């Protein structure tokens, strides 16, 4: 990973009109990856005031598995900053200390593992208009981390020596790499010690008045699998892993929206199923919060092949963005370029900062405009194309790339709208769902825009007439932004019955003809597409009839986890179900019971629940058939657990009874139930985190709660006795 320090840092303002924003740099890495050393090396040579806030959450997360008798110790100290006078503190105290330092204008290193989104979210919230949030990911080879842990002494949290490797192994199994969509403005990935040295130099060179470019740096493959757990390296040749010996074989393929899908050869003897769908989106998949925000990604118009002056172009961009800010609502504009050393991005960033333009609603991004989601984690429902006047592929640059990524569907859709375009104008083209840009990137519209030409080798050259050129460029950006606003403003008004696939706010509701309408992002349409056309998804479908489709969940939360889809349009969620749908719900329940009989015949220890989520994350009503062992590596977060073990999960028998008696089902409060503490679904004991909960439920012998043992909520029906030893 190369980093040009001189180009990475914005030159100091000679008149020092504005002070550089404080940075909250969240370090991400396993124990032994060098987080504390990274902080110390930067702080030793930096002229910017840095504070290191350290919480040794590696103990907090997993010490009970290996160090049951170990007393947790944490140190939160650097540059005169202490918590509890240097004594052990808590995560809230860390947050308080970091917030206080940022308020004082200091930059902060958050020195803790931060290996998943849930661990990072509170620290990311420290950001705002006056604070930039960065992530520095120390994703070094696992063997290197092991060797450091085994050798080190005097560690602040006493996580050292050979036994510590087991702790790190457990932590790496649930690792989630950060994405810009979490709220980061910059993410630096370090894959080796050379990358770390370069990152240290970059952050050391950032002075009090300097800023760093936004975007992702050093990430070779954002969809790459997590490194092998440490225990793989520690095993003796004759040792085997009982999980590895299970007859289920897993391989990886790339699925829609850039997701990793698993090919599963079931231990039950069922044929191999290539599964592409999950009730829960993958770690690298579209973020629900992110997809709620209409976003336009656009390149700099006319500054590449048309050779428009960069200074003048940056003035036009910033001026037009400022003009449209009040009209955007919650929508966002993102200026995109491929290279970290882009001069147009640097100019625009500096001028936007001078005008105090909200960096949450307008920002720059380094990446391929055709792969913003799959490669950069940025959800954009609209992208702009710097088109040629003929509106045809070719010519190189952005135009060729977008037409190539959009496929024949984009070219055909463009021809339906127009055959040519005049400078200063834009053309909005709805993208067909057959386009790869739609299915993989979540793009619903491409806006072709044509700017002024200063290149004598291209048509309509203005011969350096920048008076006319700037006017044409202003018109081009005005047309582009107006086209985007027309998309953002009309998406919420499309009735659900139209079947339109939209990428606007996925939970935004509007009153249309007296009913609430919900729009769905493209990557949340997969279940709907399979239900409507199962014949096109033979490899995923386990069973199909006129009423239902059955398939496995790609990220099962238990040993057995099926989805039974309703095959009727307009039945998107449980809230849509009415009395006329009761025969269909009964049919779905019966199909689920048949599959339960099959699974129980193969493994008599399994117990199942059949039910619906009150508010599903994917379109098309579907019944979960899930075993109650919850033995799955995909069960990682509180929301996973609470969505199946609280009142948020509506048992099928209760839903059918309510609809029969009341005409509709009761929808439970999602926000309240998802935030509830983690409790065992059998004995109802409370647990501080998912690893401890999973350790407990693997051996809990308590009977299921009495309410679950009634009315056939558990299948097979259970008695008051506990689990068989």
Q: Which stretches of 491-616 are DSSP H helices?
A: 526-532, 582-602
User: What sign for the dihedral angle of Cα 711, 716, 718, 723?
Assistant: negative
152 and 33 in a common domain = yes
In angstroms, the CA 307 to CA 456 distance is 9
411 and 560 in a common domain = no
Q: Give the dihedral of Cα atoms 471, 475, 481, 486; nearest 10 deg.
A: 160
Of 446, 399, 406, residue with least CA distance to 427: 446
- 342-to-454, 531, 617 alpha-carbon distances in Å: 20, 45, 38
CATH code: domain of residue 640? 3.30.428.10
Q: How confident is the model at residue 271 (pLDDT cuts 50, 70, 90)?
A: very low
119 and 47 in a common domain = yes
Q: Give the dihedral of Cα atoms 333, 337, 341, 343; nearest 10 deg.
A: -70
530 and 395 in a common domain = no
Asked if the structure places residue 227 within a domain, the reply is no
Looking at 171, 199, 217, which one is the last position of a domain? 217
Asked if the structure places residue 508 within a domain, the reply is no
Phi, psi of 660 (to 5 degrees): -65, -40
pLDDT of residue 84: 46
Check if the beta carbon of residue 124 is closer than 8 Å to that of residue 184.
Answer: yes
User: Environment class of residue 700 by beta-carbon count within 10 Å: exposed (0-12), middle (13-18) or buried (19+)?
Assistant: middle
667 and 621 in a common domain = yes
304 and 351 in a common domain = yes
* Residue 616, both tokens: 């599903």
Strands (E), 584-688: 608-613, 622-627, 649-651, 678-679, 686-687
pLDDT of residue 713: 94
CATH code: domain of residue 452? 3.40.220
Check if the beta carbon of residue 516 is closer than 8 Å to that of residue 510.
Answer: yes
List pLDDT tens digits, range 450-472.
999 988 888 889 888 999 999 99
Domains: count for the chain: 3
189 and 134 in a common domain = yes
List pLDDT tens digits, range 375-434.
877 889 899 999 988 899 977 789 999 999 999 999 999 998 888 899 999 999 999 888
To the question of pTM greater than 0.85 for the whole model, the response is no
> So which residues are the catalytic ones?
622
In angstroms, the CA 231 to CA 152 distance is 19
User: Region 629-639: what's the mean pLDDT?
Assistant: 93
User: Region 209-219: what's the mean pLDDT?
Assistant: 82
CATH code: domain of residue 191? 3.40.50.300
List pLDDT tens digits, range 40-61.
999 999 999 999 988 654 444 4
Check if the beta carbon of residue 123 is closer than 8 Å to that of residue 114.
Answer: yes
Of 491, 522, 370, residue with least CA distance to 428: 491
Rg (CA), the chain: 27
For the chain, what is the mean pLDDT?
77
Residue 691's CB is within 10 A of a number of other CB atoms, namely 18
Asked if the structure places residue 500 within a domain, the reply is no
pLDDT of residue 329: 83
**Maximal C-alpha separation, the chain:** 88
* Residue 489, both tokens: 């403003």
Asked if the structure places residue 635 within a domain, the reply is yes
Which residues, 6 or more positions from 191, have their beta carbon under 8 angstroms from its beta carbon? 1, 139, 140, 218, 220
In angstroms, the CA 200 to CA 220 distance is 19
Best-predicted range by mean pLDDT among 15-19, 112-116, 306-310?
Answer: 306-310
User: Environment class of residue 59 by beta-carbon count within 10 Å: exposed (0-12), middle (13-18) or buried (19+)?
Assistant: buried
560 and 463 in a common domain = no
> Does the pLDDT of residue 442 top 90, yes or no?
no
666-685 exposure pattern, b = at least 16 Cβ within 10 A, e = fewer: eebebeebbeeebbbbbeee
Asked if the structure places residue 496 within a domain, the reply is no
* Residue 63, both tokens: 């010490």
pLDDT of residue 554: 86
Q: How far is CA 699 from the centre of its chain?
A: 33
In angstroms, the CA 139 to CA 28 distance is 8
In angstroms, the CA 610 to CA 590 distance is 10
In angstroms, the CA 118 to CA 690 distance is 11
481 and 341 in a common domain = yes
Q: Give the dihedral of Cα atoms 341, 347, 353, 354; nearest 10 deg.
A: 150
Looking at 155, 190, 217, which one is the last position of a domain? 217
Of 200, 190, 78, 185, residue with least CA distance to 133: 185
Check if the beta carbon of residue 509 is closer than 8 Å to that of residue 518.
Answer: yes
List pLDDT tens digits, range 641-681.
999 999 999 999 999 999 999 999 999 988 889 989 999 99
Question: Residue 54 sits in which domain range?
Answer: 23-58+76-217
pLDDT of residue 246: 30
pLDDT of residue 66: 37
Residue whose tokens read 């037409």: 403
Looking at 178, 195, 217, which one is the last position of a domain? 217
Cα angle 67, 71, 74; round to 5:
110
Q: How confident is the model at residue 354 (pLDDT cuts 50, 70, 90)?
A: very high
529 and 487 in a common domain = no
Q: How confident is the model at residue 697 (pLDDT cuts 50, 70, 90)?
A: very high
464 and 581 in a common domain = no
Check if the beta carbon of residue 292 is closer than 8 Å to that of residue 555.
Answer: no
pLDDT of residue 645: 96
Q: How confident is the model at residue 704 (pLDDT cuts 50, 70, 90)?
A: very high
Asked if the structure places residue 725 within a domain, the reply is no
Residue 686's CB is within 10 A of a number of other CB atoms, namely 12
Phi, psi of 429 (to 5 degrees): -120, 110
User: Environment class of residue 433 by beta-carbon count within 10 Å: exposed (0-12), middle (13-18) or buried (19+)?
Assistant: middle
> Does the pLDDT of residue 587 top 50, yes or no?
yes
pLDDT of residue 556: 95
Least confident of 51-55, 106-110, 479-483: 51-55
Asked if the structure places residue 674 within a domain, the reply is yes
437 and 477 in a common domain = yes
In angstroms, the CA 718 to CA 724 distance is 12
User: Region 515-531: what's the mean pLDDT?
Assistant: 71
Asked if the structure places residue 593 within a domain, the reply is yes
């Amino acid at each position: 990973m190369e980093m040009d320090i001189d180009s990475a840092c914005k030159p100091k303002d000679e008149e020092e009109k504005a002070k550089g924003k404080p940075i909250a740099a969240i370090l991400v890495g396993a124990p032994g990856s060098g987080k504390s050393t990274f902080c110390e090396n930067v702080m030793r040579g930096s002229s910017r005031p840095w504070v290191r806030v350290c919480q040794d959450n590696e103990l907090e997360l997993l010490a009970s598995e290996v160090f049951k008798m170990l007393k947790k110790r944490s140190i939160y100290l650097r540059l005169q900053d202490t918590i509890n006078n240097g004594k052990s503190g808590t995560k809230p105290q860390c947050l308080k200390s970091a917030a206080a330092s940022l308020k004082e204008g200091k930059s902060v290193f958050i020195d803790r593992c931060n290996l998943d989104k849930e661990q990072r979210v509170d620290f990311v919230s420290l950001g705002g208009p006056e604070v930039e949030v960065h992530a520095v990911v120390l994703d070094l080879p696992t063997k290197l981390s092991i060797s450091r842990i085994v050798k080190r002494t005097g560690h602040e949290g006493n996580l050292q020596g050979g036994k510590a490797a087991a702790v790190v192994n457990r932590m790496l199994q649930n690792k989630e790499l950060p994405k810009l969509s979490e709220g980061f403005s910059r993410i630096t990935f370090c894959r080796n010690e050379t990358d770390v040295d370069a990152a240290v130099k970059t952050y050391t060179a950032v002075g009090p008045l300097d800023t760093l470019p936004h975007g992702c740096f050093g990430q070779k493959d954002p969809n790459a699998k997590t490194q092998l757990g440490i225990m793989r390296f520690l095993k003796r040749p004759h040792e085997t892993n009982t999980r590895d010996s299970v007859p289920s074989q897993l391989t990886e393929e790339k699925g829609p929206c850039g997701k990793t899908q698993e090919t599963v050869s079931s231990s039950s003897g069922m044929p191999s199923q290539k599964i592409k769908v999950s009730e829960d989106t993958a770690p690298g998949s579209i973020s629900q919060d992110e997809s709620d925000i209409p976003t336009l990604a656009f390149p700099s118009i006319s500054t590449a092949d048309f050779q428009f002056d960069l200074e003048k172009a940056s003035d036009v961009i910033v001026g037009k963005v400022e003009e449209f800010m009040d009209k955007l609502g919650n929508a966002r504009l993102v200026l995109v370029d491929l290279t970290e050393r882009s001069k147009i991005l640097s100019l625009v960033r500096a001028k936007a900062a001078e005008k105090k333009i909200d960096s949450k609603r307008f920002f720059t991004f380094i990446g391929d405009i055709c792969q913003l989601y799959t490669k950069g984690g940025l959800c954009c429902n609209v992208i702009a194309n710097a088109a040629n006047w003929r509106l045809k592929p070719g010519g190189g640059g952005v135009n060729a790339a977008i037409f190539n990524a959009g496929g024949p569907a984009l070219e055909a859709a463009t021809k339906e709208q127009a055959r040519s375009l005049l400078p200063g104008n834009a053309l909005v083209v709805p993208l067909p769902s057959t386009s790869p840009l739609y299915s993989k990137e979540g793009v619903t519209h491409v806006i072709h825009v044509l700017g002024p030409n200063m290149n004598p080798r291209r048509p309509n050259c203005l011969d350096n007439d920048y008076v006319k050129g700037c006017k044409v460029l202003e018109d081009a950006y005005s047309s582009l932004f107006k086209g985007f606003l027309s998309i953002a403003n009309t998406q919420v008004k499309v009735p659900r019955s139209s079947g339109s696939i939209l990428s606007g706010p996925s939970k935004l509701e509007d009153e249309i003809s007296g009913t609430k309408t919900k729009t769905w992002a493209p990557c949340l349409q997969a279940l709907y597409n399979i239900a409507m056309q199962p014949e096109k998804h033979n490899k995923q479908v386990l069973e199909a009839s006129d009423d239902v489709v059955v398939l496995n969940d790609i990220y099962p939360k238990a040993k057995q986890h099926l989805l039974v889809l309703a095959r009727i349009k307009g039945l998107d969620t449980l809230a849509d179900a009415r009395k006329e749908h009761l025969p269909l719900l009964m049919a779905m329940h019966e199909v689920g019971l048949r599959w339960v009989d099959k699974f129980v015949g193969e493994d008599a220890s399994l117990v199942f629940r059949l039910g619906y989520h009150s508010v599903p994350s994917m379109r098309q009503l579907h019944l979960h058939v899930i075993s109650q062992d919850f033995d799955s590596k995909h069960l990682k977060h509180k929301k996973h657990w609470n969505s199946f073990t609280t009142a948020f999960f509506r048992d099928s028998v209760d839903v059918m009874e309510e609809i029969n008696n009341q005409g509709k089902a009761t929808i439970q409060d999602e926000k309240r139930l998802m935030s509830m503490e983690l409790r065992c679904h059998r004995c109802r004991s409370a647990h501080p985190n998912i690893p401890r909960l999973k350790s407990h439920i693997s051996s809990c012998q308590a009977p299921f709660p009495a309410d679950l043992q009634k009315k056939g909520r558990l299948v097979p029906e259970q008695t008051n006795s506990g689990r068989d030893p």
